[in-house]
Chains A and B, each alone.
Chain A
Amino acid sequence: MTTIAIPPGMPQYDDVPRYDVEAVRADFPILGREVNGHPMVYLDSANTSQKPLQVLDVLRAHYERHNGNVSRSVHTVGTEATEAYEGARAKVAAFINAPSPDEVVFTKNSTEAINLVAYAFSNASVGAGGDPRFRLGPGDEIVISEMEHHSNIVPWQLLCERTGATLRWFPVTDGGRLDESGLEELVNERTKLVSFVHMSNILGTVNATARITERVRQVGALLLLDCSQSVPHLPVDVVDLDADFIAFTGHKMCAPSGIGVLWGRAELLAAMPPVFGGGSMIETVSMSGSTYAPPPARFEAGTPPIAEAVALGAAVDYLTGIGMRAIQWHEKELTAYALDALATVPGLRIFGPTVPVGRGGTISFALDGIHPHDVGQVLDAEGVEVRVGHHCARPVCVRFGVPATTRASFYLYTTTGEVDALVRGLEQVRKVFG
């Protein structure tokens, strides 16, 4: 065996932060259950993640001890709930290195966060006095990519229908990367917004954003990044990314469903008209008209998902305690292992990068001649939980000429033993349909 030494002065293998996966797994009660008589092998974290006791306990404690409505109560529990809710906002802000907690708007999920921006554009375009950066009309362009989740396609299609603006997109290469060759022409003086995915939910690709960001700045457009798959899995720093907005969701990062985040630059949020009207988002209301609260309250009409937000704060604490760098590295090693292991399955074709560089732990594949539904069904009989279908990214399936794919996705609690179980399960699939 040959050992290759990393030269002194370079980052050494042991410098990478690591953690004990079995200890982490012990925090997730559901990982101990069985499915169809087998230990559950949960490989669907890109769909939704499992929740640790540390988050479940906070959720329960909130309702048992601190439940009151936020931002409107003078009583003790209302004050405690408000402090917990605003505390969660500050934790989320620190997690993504946002300059201020006021730049964090709580939403229901990423989809709502993206729609919120789309409707702010819409509202700014119809009324007089809308900020010119958000005004859209015929001749203006919005740029997305072919790699997007439906939640970063359909809101812009609808917005273009409402305003007469044109929707354009970056194509995807055969290797599953963004094709930036047309960047200069695609992002131009007519472009008002560029919105694309940081990490693809189907291909696993982590997009390098710097070149596109630079071009976006040159032409004076705005930049939104869909970080639904990146914030849970790798360190995300909004200052570093130099984005204008990012969207992500709690349930993919150990928090409950029903809570998501729109982060936006303070001055942009301040320039955006409200989208939902109601309680909490106002300054004063009279029968002849109303004025609105500053962000983030302006965009949080009605009673928000309070306990869910508090639990998201607990999830952020949990992930921070383990370390996002360590989680990223764990998934990188796991992805390298899985790419090698899957390559041993006859007739298996991977969609997306086949090397563990510029990609995360989400791997989509096809098994020769066997429909993904059948693959998923046989795997489930073996206790292996994967997602099958178009993963809400149908244009990607069309791009690669398949109606659907099978997708295995990993998280901080996934083990190499579970990747082995997947590969064994795929042998079983081949036996049934061979």
Chain B
Amino acid sequence: MQVDQLYQEIILDHYKHPHGRGLREPYAAEAHHVNPTCGDEVTIRVALDDDTLSDVSYDGMGCSISQASASVLHELLTGRDTGQAFEVHAAFVELMSGRGQVTPDEELLGDAVAFAGVARYPARVKCALLPWMAFKDAAARAGVDVEAGDEDSNERSEVKTA
């Protein structure tokens, strides 16, 4: 496997120049997720305007994959209505669970298609999913109807509602 499949330019770019980083007020709820095996952590806040995610703000520390993933998540989901957001969420989770066999929908996933290579590195899939699982928790706490029965997260979670 070539390591540049994993570290696509887009990922390195989001890592070195994260978009929308920093926790912002006001927000409806937040979730803090950690990956206990490596200590990566991310906090995600969601702000809602009716059904629209008026802001998805975040902060965290960790490897390039987890932090770039948070930056991409912010960019993809901010401003969307929650239904669309969870369509993107489901597509991203599917991509990451696909062991490199899933062809990503570029229209839906935007920069997140760069993570297709990550799916071939089982040890790193959790890094990419960390912010997405935190987002799902935060959204659920904010009262968003998160589809039941999909992807379970193994990360420990502390959830706080504003």
Contacts of A390 in B (CB 8 A): 38-39
- Cβ contact of A377, chosen from B3, B37, B40, cutoff 8 A: B3
Contacts of B1 in A (CB 8 A): 36, 381
Which of B46-54, B59-67, B88-96, B137-145 touches A? B59-67
Contacts of A215 in B (CB 8 A): none
CB distance from A63 to the nearest CB of B (A): 31
Q: In the complex the two chains form, is B12's CB within 8 Å of A433's CB?
A: yes
Give CA–CA (A433, B37) in the complex, Å: 22
Q: In the complex the two chains form, is A433's CB within 8 Å of B3's CB?
A: no
Task: Tell me the dominant secondary structure on chain A's binding face.
Answer: helix
Interface bin, chain A:
10 to 19
Give CA–CA (A389, B37) in the complex, Å: 7
Contacts of A377 in B (CB 8 A): 3, 6-7, 121, 124
Q: In the complex the two chains form, is A432's CB within 8 Å of B62's CB?
A: no
Q: In the complex the two chains form, is B38's CB within 8 Å of A373's CB?
A: yes
Give CA–CA (A389, B62) in the complex, Å: 11
Interface bin, chain B:
10 to 19
CB distance from B152 to the nearest CB of A (A): 23
B2 contacts A by Cβ under 8 Å: yes
Contacts of A371 in B (CB 8 A): 40, 62-64
Give CA–CA (A389, B127) in the complex, Å: 13
CB distance from B86 to the nearest CB of A (A): 28
Answer whether A403 and B61 are a contact pair too, CB < 8 Å, given A373-B38, A389-B37, A390-B38: yes
Give CA–CA (A12, B61) in the complex, Å: 51
A430 contacts B by Cβ under 8 Å: no
Among residues of B, the one whose C-beta sits closest to the C-beta of A390 is: B39
Give CA–CA (A389, B63) in the complex, Å: 11
A246 contacts B by Cβ under 8 Å: no
Give CA–CA (A263, B2) in the complex, Å: 47
- Cβ contact of B3, chosen from A381, A394, A403, cutoff 8 A: A381
Answer whether A389 and B39 are a contact pair too, CB < 8 Å, given A371-B64, A433-B12: yes
Among residues of A, the one whose C-beta sits closest to the C-beta of B61 is: A403
- Cβ contact of A403, chosen from B40, B64, B65, B121, cutoff 8 A: B40
Answer whether A394 and B2 are a contact pair too, CB < 8 Å, given A371-B63, A433-B12: no
List 4 tightest A-B contacts by C-beta distance, closest first.
A381-B3, A403-B39, A373-B63, A371-B63
Selected A-B contacts with CB under 8 Å, 18 pairs: A372-B38, A373-B38, A373-B64, A373-B65, A373-B124, A373-B127, A377-B7, A377-B124, A378-B3, A380-B3, A389-B37, A389-B38, A389-B39, A390-B38, A403-B39, A403-B61, A404-B38, A432-B7
Please give 18 more A-B residue pairs, beta carbons under 8 A apart, in addition to A371-B40, A377-B124, A381-B3.
A371-B62, A371-B64, A373-B40, A373-B62, A374-B7, A374-B65, A377-B6, A378-B7, A389-B38, A389-B39, A390-B38, A390-B39, A394-B39, A403-B38, A403-B39, A403-B61, A403-B62, A432-B7
